[in-house]
Structure 1
């Protein structure tokens, strides 16, 4: 399962990640993040220009779901919540039957309208942070999931929840056996176990108890193995449990550059990335470039089974393909459902350090699912949809496609994704990478009176488009 942080579309340069950067061959499920709720409990877009077609928006909901044309088995989910949404609105909504119904109705309508296959609830967290109703959140969360399940079953929709991983924290938020009976997947956020909020360095996602904690009681450390065991012991069905894998690292500022091991004193958040621009956080795509171009002392915690790196006062915890494989292989012994990643836009998706998506490929290989192929050719001729049959305020693509043979990047395909047809204003190509410099080009026609608008990536009125063909 692959979470996609849509805000990456606003990053600069090589950090920018759009829907057409997604390699569908590497994910069984794609999760679009995030939508939110208003004070009435209604699910709303947090970025209408990006998500929706109205007012010449980018219509990413539909573009995201159009990826299923290239992999019919792909499932897409829409995620609501996230850290920035807080807990208060969700605490109020879950406690009130009317607001819960507003939430359920609007969630169902949004999912069905835009072609998602399911919904992911990422309430961070019941009975924590700025909660309004405290411990009542626990039962209210279960009630919400029960009522969502009842409605979703009418439409054959998937339901998942992203949950706190560490037992000592999760016990404050969830009645595990009660709510898990209503979901298809429990997405375990087994990361952010240590970070710049701590006074000492620590690993973002240690598999086991690591260096510096040898004499600390097992129950007093945060680790991936203990999180998985806790959820299973509490009654979460193994075939619903999904292990979270971070595609990013956590950074610290050392208090003393000479005291630089695991659990060394730290004075706060460390370096920020070029594209993510957040102190204490580095995407793997950012850090692998630093490792490639700068001098870092790369080390390995043989107990925790994860790497870390030191440069002067900078201390970075991160994951590499080997540490990811170790985590997944350990979790698979419990016969869990699989793995999810947070999040695909911080992997080395452009292949600047090695091949593209090295961490996501490592996940697939550890799960035994990687075939070595890139995006497959579509097995249907259904059209990817910048628009659809619902009422929208812009022209829509409603006609059929013709699949051509592989075309080199020097012809119609200048890039992966949408490309103009140099011979016809009324059509465009969707180009899918199939090898080094090679694409499969899918020719798609706009409705007869419309022209392809490459700037806005939609079929538009002819007078709105500059086309000299």
Structure 2
């Protein structure tokens, strides 16, 4: 059973939207035996224009809340794992003001950049485990070649993790293949067992104690293209990307929340919800205790909108700080605060712009859903969109109680 705060339901009714129906994922056989996993991605490019540094993970309080940090992205090139942005990863000198311990990098320092700072972060928070993620939306093409020789791929990844310059920093590998045996930015025809073979090879190469995880789609069509039950067996967990169901790629609308928990009256596709993705994964044979629910720390928005409720028409994508149609929660909470809720997530109409995004309150509702359905935890994409005091990440960590 899904818990919906009374206040959220009242706001929805006042905004003209019906409360979402109760989530219908099959009842869990038992509650998780361990504390929930609280996972979030940190992007290498965030240290540039966004100026989100590893230090911010510490000063915001996020490091105290996280169980796992996922560093994105390494590349998959020539069938193997390689660094993504070597300058940001290990070469860029970090000034004292941006350093976890307040000490600036020196010219003769062997390891600088994000990796040097992640090592300092891990020393300060010894319980925090760190994964290195490979792929991503623009970096998934290389997985097709890697799937031809999973053992060679796994060996290259293990060698990279054990590089003497940062040996011991990473506790495992995350694969963000968008999408195996399906289409993302490019299309793949490696077969439904390709992801499972890569994960199995990594498990064999890295050993039973290593973290071996994968991000998986939230869309039903893509979920049925791969054997995710087989993929889950060698994996520590699978992270369901339960966001971006709708967005400004659908211009000129209708406007729709990009990360609804459940269906709501008028939703363009009733299967495009977090609940539907979770039910699909469970139905495919993925154990509940290996599923992480995904939360986006950003909103998607349209311009030229007059209708407050979802379903309105638009003239195009709304302007964003870094990309059209996308904006960080930390910005939206000030510039376009929520005016309603639909499907368990917030939306806002302001000055002709319509945005949908999660708030601390809606995230707590999603965490209650995850807990009641016996999931392993939740993950966030990605930390730079949160507030300086990590309000969204805190809601993820405390929403299970």
TM range (shorter): 0.7 to 0.9
**Counterpart residue number, 1:250:** 300
Structure 1 residues 54 and 286: alpha-carbon distance in aligned structure 2, compared to 1, 3 A threshold: closer
TM-score by length of 2: 0.79
Structure 1 residues 138 and 19: alpha-carbon distance in aligned structure 2, compared to 1, 3 A threshold: same
Matched, 1:191 2:254: no
In 1, Cα distance between equivalents of 2:358 and 2:369? 15
**Counterpart residue number, 1:267:** 315
SS in 1 for 2:375: coil
**Counterpart residue number, 1:10:** 48
In 1, Cα distance between equivalents of 2:265 and 2:326? 22
**Counterpart residue number, 1:28:** 67
**Counterpart residue number, 1:357:** 390
Structure 1 residues 316 and 150: alpha-carbon distance in aligned structure 2, compared to 1, 3 A threshold: same
* Cα offsets for 1:215-257 (capped at 9, x unmatched): x7xx743111111111111111111111111111101123xx4
* Cα offsets for 1:113-169 (capped at 9, x unmatched): 3220010000111121365652x3322222111111111116x31100011012233
**What runs of 5+ residues in structure 1 fail to find an aligned partner?**
350-355, 369-469
* Cα offsets for 1:283-334 (capped at 9, x unmatched): 111212314xxxx6x3223x51222111232111111111101111012111
SS in 1 for 2:339: strand
Structure 1 residues 246 and 130: alpha-carbon distance in aligned structure 2, compared to 1, 3 A threshold: closer
Structure 1 residues 331 and 224: alpha-carbon distance in aligned structure 2, compared to 1, 3 A threshold: same
Work out whether residues 294 and 378 of structure 2, in 8 Å CA contact, stay in contact via their aligned partners in 1: yes
In 2, Cα distance between equivalents of 1:10 and 1:367? 34
Matched, 1:314 2:353: yes
Structure 1 residues 43 and 200: alpha-carbon distance in aligned structure 2, compared to 1, 3 A threshold: same
**Counterpart residue number, 2:151:** 101
> In the TM superposition, what is the alpha-carbon distance from 1:261 to its structure 2 partner?
2.3
In 2, Cα distance between equivalents of 1:250 and 1:267? 14
**What runs of 5+ residues in structure 2 fail to find an aligned partner?**
1-38, 94-106
Higher strand share: 1
9, 19, 33: which one aligns with 2:54: 19
**Counterpart residue number, 2:211:** 158
Work out whether residues 179 and 222 of structure 2, in 8 Å CA contact, stay in contact via their aligned partners in 1: no
Question: Larger Cα Rg: Structure 1 or Structure 2?
Answer: 1
> In the TM superposition, what is the alpha-carbon distance from 1:53 to its structure 2 partner?
4.1
Work out whether residues 31 and 77 of structure 1, in 8 Å CA contact, stay in contact via their aligned partners in 2: yes
- The Cα RMSD (Å) is 2.0
**Counterpart residue number, 2:79:** 41
In 1, Cα distance between equivalents of 2:187 and 2:271? 29
* Cα offsets for 1:330-358 (capped at 9, x unmatched): 12111111111111111012xxxxxx111
SS in 2 for 1:252: strand
Structure 1 residues 200 and 333: alpha-carbon distance in aligned structure 2, compared to 1, 3 A threshold: same
SS in 2 for 1:22: helix
In 2, Cα distance between equivalents of 1:176 and 1:26? 29
SS in 2 for 1:266: coil
In 1, Cα distance between equivalents of 2:175 and 2:286? 17
> In the TM superposition, what is the alpha-carbon distance from 1:60 to its structure 2 partner?
1.6
Matched, 1:83 2:121: no
Matched, 1:129 2:160: no
Structure 1 residues 239 and 70: alpha-carbon distance in aligned structure 2, compared to 1, 3 A threshold: same
**Counterpart residue number, 2:98:** none
In 1, Cα distance between equivalents of 2:303 and 2:92? 45
331, 341, 352: which one aligns with 1:286: 331
SS in 2 for 1:33: strand
**Counterpart residue number, 1:299:** 339
**Counterpart residue number, 2:275:** 225
> In the TM superposition, what is the alpha-carbon distance from 1:79 to its structure 2 partner?
0.3
* Cα offsets for 1:58-77 (capped at 9, x unmatched): 33223213312122211100
Work out whether residues 179 and 187 of structure 2, in 8 Å CA contact, stay in contact via their aligned partners in 1: no
Work out whether residues 80 and 146 of structure 2, in 8 Å CA contact, stay in contact via their aligned partners in 1: no
In 2, Cα distance between equivalents of 1:203 and 1:54? 38
In 1, Cα distance between equivalents of 2:119 and 2:66? 13
SS in 1 for 2:178: coil
**Counterpart residue number, 1:240:** 290
* Cα offsets for 1:14-37 (capped at 9, x unmatched): x41111111310100011010102
